[in-house]
Amino acid sequence: MTTYGLLGYPLGHSFSRNYFTEKFHREGIDAEYLNFELPSLDGYRDLWAAYPNLRGHNVTIPYKQQIIPFLDELSPEAAAIGAVNVVKHTSDGRLRGYNSDVIGFVESIRPLLTPQRHRALILGTGGASKAIFYGLKEKLGFQDIRFVSRHKGDGLLTYSDLTPEIINHYPVIINCTPCGMYPHVDESPNLPYEAMTPNNLLYDLVYNPEETQFMRRGAANGATVKNGLEMLILQAQASWDFWTED
């Protein structure tokens, strides 16, 4: 039986494991999908020795950037993004990193874009935010994109910088942080939600709960909102394509 899995820490509820287990059962694929919950990457190479039929795995928080030194090569997009969420064991024994997050994000947000929605704020600076930035700039043609962080840094906005004028100037706001994720469902990024209008698009990579406080507060002021479930499904489909292509 072929093995695939998800690498991260902590993992808790795994959408990926449920998705692929159902897919394998539905399509009669002789494979299993496991959670690899490692507190550090010190034992990463041992994982491949322990599971000789492991052909690939997904990567989630906090390892999308940390995994890169352990890999033999990266796809051009993963190298440009600087983050990996798919690893494949190639036929010649090499470990190759890909990024399917950018595929899922671009395909899921594209139908919601309008000529007025062409400037964006990205909340967070982790591995997922790098894929979002790449997708907005290289795939969707956004030229004006700013990162928002809790900490001051070169070129970064902080949450205290976010005035109503900035919210109006950057109508697309993507939450790449875990803020509002279960079980912290009452939390939301510190934004001037009262300044939002129907021109705003709030996209949350969080999918549990289905409607986050970030989404709810934006929608209350007329903004279009979307969670990360479709992106997750699309990136999982792309992961399978990477693992099974020649």
Q: What are phi and psi of 215, to 5 degrees?
A: -70, -45
Distance in angstroms (rounded) separating the CA atoms of residues 102 and 128 = 9
Tokens of 195: 């300044």
Distance in angstroms (rounded) separating the CA atoms of residues 136 and 52 = 38
Distance in angstroms (rounded) separating the CA atoms of residues 75 and 173 = 28
Sequence length of the chain is 246
Q: Is 23 a known active-site residue?
A: no
Catalytic residue selected from 23, 64, 139, 152: 64
Catalytic residues: 64
